[in-house]
Amino acid sequence: MALEQQIQKDIMEAMKAKDAVRLNAVRAIKSEILLAKTAGGNKELQDSDILKLIQKLSKQRKESAEQFRAGGRDDLADNELNEASVLDAYLPEPLSPEALEARLKAIVAEVGATSPADMGKVMGAATRQLAGLADGKAISAIVRKLLS
């Protein structure tokens, strides 16, 4: 089943279960999908595109939770973290640091990068191949280490 169809099914299940946190999180995914489709001229999104949207939403929720905690609003922070955990359930299991480094070494060899000047080429290929599997900051740090 395509990810978009699964999300629509999950919206219905959350409504039936009266699970407000799950419903809000899944509706946010659906909203982002619709926005991406209309921005691209009603084109169909691939599952990899949807995973990128979900990853972005999860990151936003986690950053919001940090801000709420800093402001002393633990109730709002907990809600954001609960929604982030619902979003994270749609994402594939992230790569371990060792596995990520091994994949990045292969990408560096594939691209033929030899110096820090080639970082852009490596990052472009890595973000496409590792979408949803690793955070951009982690990818960047390891690539910088490999190329220096």
pLDDT confidence of residue 73: 94
Measure the CA–CA gap between 24 and 139, rounded to whole angstroms.
30
Measure the CA–CA gap between 49 and 81, rounded to whole angstroms.
23
pLDDT confidence of residue 64: 95
Q: Structure tokens of 24?
A: 């809000």
Nearest 5°: the CA angle 26, 95, 50 is 30
Domains and CATH numbers, the chain: 3-88 (1.10.1510.10), 97-147 (1.10.10.410)
pLDDT tens profile 96-123:
888 888 888 888 888 887 778 888 888 8
**pTM (2 d.p.):** 0.75
pLDDT confidence of residue 83: 93
